[in-house]
């Protein structure tokens, strides 16, 4: 996949000087540097590329840094001699040739600021050792300081030269003290100037005391050749003085007072780097705990962390493989087509069945009277979970749906109510039973369907709740065209006839001298029975008064509801299709659930908007209007109520 990236030299003052390249996402950084060299004549060894505040490593790829189409990569030119630098690096690695010494300006334990070349910014550190090459004298420019970073004391120390270290900044200027041409120490984010970033030297060019703003040029690195012009500092109350090295003999009386660490952008925007707060973004993706860091492993694909004992199945030790992939990223080996093999067809379960696995009541988007030609279409749309059996349910919860196919001669179908008979010859779903013995088989079926009755206790002589039957659990009823003895069945295929409930159930002896159980099912659905509706698509649809009430109260979406109302004369199906089209969330592509109406009058699910804010996306997903972090996430109750009445079951398992 190709993307377009912009290369912007840090010293450039405008975007017109950007180099625009069309590159592959798997392109290595050193290959990109060669392309830049061919255009700018800047040697590869003199290039430092930055993205997201970090220096890009030569052996990594564009994909590793999650660089997107249209992003800007910053280029800093260095005047350092690469041959000399390599020689110096080789010498500093030879610790045996270094000896301890002292400095006239620093001593072990001093708190300092260190130039970290990877970012081109200054970070807090502490001197733990002062060294010098045995072949050199003790001049300050020959000294090598071994320092440990204050924020990461557990990491290995780094070595820097005298010019890369200076006393820790501690004095904060008041705004009245600042003057033009002063070089100060500021916090700035190169890519997002309104957010907190790293600490750089800054030359003031303009001070607006009325608006309390500070403008100037940002200085990166030690050479001071990399300058970002016309920067506006946001954190003007944190401008600090750059401390200069002072002879130890001239120091004032020292105190043991610790200099507080400066503010930096949090590594994790979700937990704000609070060590006591569990976070699945920066720690284990399963448990979120920030403990047992030594056994956290990182997926080479998604870069998420996992404790070895949190995985399913858990791992005993950290894997020694060069590459490791988490369960979400690991590809099924059965899907891999190896050399000489034919393409494979991988059968997967439909997501719709999984989502509606244990749902009582109507299925969103399926109206009473909906028809299907073949039985295997029923589980595909979620109306009936079993492709082979007449009953779909859970033995601990009840029955969700049944198919009335007329196989039982003694079942009396009167449309609004019918007797559903269970016997040894009746087929049932293995989800309900899971047992093959006929006696247990039937008892399990009876107990499962009896759970839908208002009284959950089953008696040997049956039970009836004629007065309060409407409080039982709903059962979706699908009639089959094979109901030959009933005038209420469809002409062909299968038809959804609405919600029924168990009124009573009891045992009796059939004409074949077998014990059967009869369940009286009675219709309890506000929609008209499909056998009474004629040309439903051509007659106008009249809204329920409750729906009209909430539509009128939803003044924020008046224009959308007016557009929907124009389709009432074209029938219910057309009206509902229009509602679904206008009130579908752009994030999850589902009908709105707990909707929030933004200031730009767009509707988004509450949970979807929360996820956007958690990802630092503070604009409308529809029109990209800026939304403040403190904006109201008030749920539009009127819209929610109207959609719930129009689409019963909306929001199930969401």
In a domain, 443, yes or no: yes
Task: Judge if 234 and 299 occupy the same domain.
Answer: no
In a domain, 347, yes or no: no
> At 8, which CATH number?
3.10.20.90
pLDDT in tens, 192-210: 888 888 899 999 999 988 8
Domain end call among 490, 523, 556 = 523
H or E element at residue 145: strand 143-149
41-45, 68-72, 94-98: the lowest-pLDDT one: 94-98
Query: What average pLDDT does the segment 398-423 reach?
Result: 77
Alpha helices in 375-469, H assignment, sequence order: 377-381, 438-450
Number of domains in the chain: 6
Distance CA 296, CA 319 (A): 11
In a domain, 469, yes or no: yes
Average pLDDT over the chain, rounded to an integer: 78
Is residue 336 over pLDDT 60?
no
The torsion angle over the Cα atoms of residues 380, 385, 387 and 390, rounded to 10 degrees, is -140
In a domain, 486, yes or no: yes
Distance CA 641, CA 627 (A): 25
pLDDT in tens, 429-467: 333 333 333 444 456 777 788 888 876 444 444 455 456
Task: Judge if 476 and 446 occupy the same domain.
Answer: yes
pLDDT in tens, 237-252: 999 999 999 898 888 7
In a domain, 508, yes or no: yes
Is residue 409 over pLDDT 80?
no
Task: Judge if 16 and 129 occupy the same domain.
Answer: no
Task: Judge if 220 and 363 occupy the same domain.
Answer: no
Q: Which of 4, 86, 84, 76 is nearest to 42 (CA)?
A: 76
> At 105, which CATH number?
2.30.30.140
> At 453, which CATH number?
2.30.280.10
In a domain, 343, yes or no: no
Residue 353, pLDDT score: 36
Domain end call among 139, 167, 195 = 167
Residue 253, pLDDT score: 65
> At 229, which CATH number?
2.30.30.30
Give the count of beta carbons closer than 10 Å to the beta carbon of residue 583: 20
Residue 334, pLDDT score: 57
Task: Judge if 386 and 502 occupy the same domain.
Answer: yes
Query: What average pLDDT does the segment 29-57 reach?
Result: 82
pTM confidence score: 0.42
Residue 187, pLDDT score: 92
Q: What share of the chain is helix, strand, coil (3-state, %, to 5)?
A: 20, 25, 55
User: 93: pLDDT confidence band, cut at 50, 70 and 90?
Assistant: very low
> At 323, which CATH number?
3.30.40.10
Query: Which position has the token pair 């996306």?
Result: 617
Pair 188, 231: CB distance under 8 Å: yes
Query: What average pLDDT does the segment 394-416 reach?
Result: 76
Task: Judge if 69 and 86 occupy the same domain.
Answer: no
Beta pairing class for 305-307 and 121-133: unpaired
Domain end call among 523, 553, 572 = 523
- 283 DSSP 8-state letter: S
- 500-505-511 Cα angle (round to 5): 115
| pLDDT: which is higher, 508 or 104 | 104
Task: Judge if 297 and 371 occupy the same domain.
Answer: no
Task: Judge if 134 and 108 occupy the same domain.
Answer: yes
Task: Judge if 38 and 55 occupy the same domain.
Answer: yes
pLDDT in tens, 146-195: 998 887 665 668 888 898 899 999 999 999 999 999 999 999 988 788 88
Phi, psi of 557 (to 5 degrees): -115, 30
Task: Judge if 376 and 516 occupy the same domain.
Answer: yes
Task: Judge if 18 and 127 occupy the same domain.
Answer: no
User: 53: pLDDT confidence band, cut at 50, 70 and 90?
Assistant: low
Q: Which of 566, 564, 625, 569 is nearest to 597 (CA)?
A: 625
Task: Judge if 394 and 477 occupy the same domain.
Answer: yes
Domain that holds residue 215: 175-242
């Amino acid at each position: 996949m190709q993307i377009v990236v912009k290369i912007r030299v840090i010293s450039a003052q405008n975007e017109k000087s950007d180099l625009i390249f069309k590159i592959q996402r798997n392109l290595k950084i050193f290959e990109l540097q060669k392309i830049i060299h061919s255009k700018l004549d800047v040697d590869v060894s003199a290039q430092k590329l930055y993205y997201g505040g970090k220096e890009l490593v030569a052996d990594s790829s564009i994909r590793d840094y999650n660089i997107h189409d249209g992003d800007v990569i910053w280029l800093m030119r260095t005047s350092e001699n690469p041959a000399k630098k390599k020689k110096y690096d080789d010498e500093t690695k030879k610790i045996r040739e270094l000896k301890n010494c002292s400095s006239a300006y620093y001593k072990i334990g001093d708190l300092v600021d260190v130039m970290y070349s990877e970012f081109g910014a200054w970070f807090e550190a502490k001197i733990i050792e002062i060294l010098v090459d045995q072949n050199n004298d003790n001049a300050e420019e020959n000294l090598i300081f071994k320092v440990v970073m204050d924020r990461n004391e557990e990491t290995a120390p780094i070595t820097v030269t005298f010019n890369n270290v200076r006393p820790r900044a501690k004095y904060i200027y008041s705004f009245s003290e600042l003057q033009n041409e002063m070089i100060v120490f500021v916090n700035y984010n190169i890519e997002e100037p309104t957010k907190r970033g790293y600490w750089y030297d800054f030359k003031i060019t303009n001070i607006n005391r009325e608006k309390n703003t500070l403008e100037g040029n940002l200085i990166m690195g030690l050479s001071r050749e990399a300058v970002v012009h016309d920067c506006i500092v946001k954190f003007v109350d944190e401008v600090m003085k750059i401390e200069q090295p002072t002879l130890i003999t001239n120091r004032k009386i020292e105190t043991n007072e610790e200099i507080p660490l400066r503010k930096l952008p949090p590594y994790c925007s979700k937990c704000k780097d609070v060590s006591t707060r569990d976070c699945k973004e920066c720690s284990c993706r399963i448990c979120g705990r920030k403990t047992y860091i030594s056994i956290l492993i990182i997926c080479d694909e998604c870069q998420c962390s996992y404790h070895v004992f949190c995985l399913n199945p858990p791992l005993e030790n950290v894997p020694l493989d060069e590459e490791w992939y988490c369960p979400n990223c690991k590809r099924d080996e059965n899907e891999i087509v190896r050399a000489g093999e034919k393409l494979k067809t991988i059968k997967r379960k439909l997501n719709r069945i999984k989502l509606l696995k244990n749902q009582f009541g109507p299925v969103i988007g399926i109206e009473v009277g909906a028809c299907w030609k073949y039985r295997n279409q029923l589980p595909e749309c979620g109306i009936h979970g079993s492709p082979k059996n007449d009953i779909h349910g859970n033995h601990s919860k009840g029955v969700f749906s049944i198919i009335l196919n007329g196989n039982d001669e003694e079942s009396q179908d009167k449309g609004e109510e019918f007797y559903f008979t269970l016997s040894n010859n009746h087929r049932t779903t293995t989800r309900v039973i899971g047992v093959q013995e006929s006696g247990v088989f039937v008892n399990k079926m009876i107990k499962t369907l009896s759970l839908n009755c208002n009284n959950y206790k089953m008696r040997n002589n049956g039970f009836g709740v004629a007065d309060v039957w409407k409080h039982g659990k709903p059962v979706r009823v699908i009639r089959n065209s094979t109901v030959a003895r009933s005038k209420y069945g469809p002409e062909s295929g299968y038809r959804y006839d609405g919600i029924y409930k168990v009124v009573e159930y009891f045992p009796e002896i059939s004409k074949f001298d077998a014990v059967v159980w009869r369940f009286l099912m009675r219709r309890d659905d506000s929609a008209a029975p499909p056998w009474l509706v004629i040309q439903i698509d051509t007659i106008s649809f009249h809204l329920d008064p409750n729906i009209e009430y909430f539509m009128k109260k939803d003044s924020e979406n008046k224009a959308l509801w007016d557009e929907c109302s124009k389709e009432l004369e074209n029938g219910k199906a057309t009206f509902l299709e229009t509602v679904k089209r206008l009130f579908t969330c752009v994030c999850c592509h589902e009908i709105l659930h707990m909707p929030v109406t933004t200031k730009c009058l767009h509707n988004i699910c509450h949970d979807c908007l929360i996820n956007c804010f958690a990802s630092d996306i503070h604009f409308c997903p529809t029109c990209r209007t800026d939304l403040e972090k403190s904006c109201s996430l008030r749920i539009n109750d009127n819209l929610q109520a109207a959609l719930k009445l129009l689409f019963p079951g909306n929001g199930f398992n969401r």
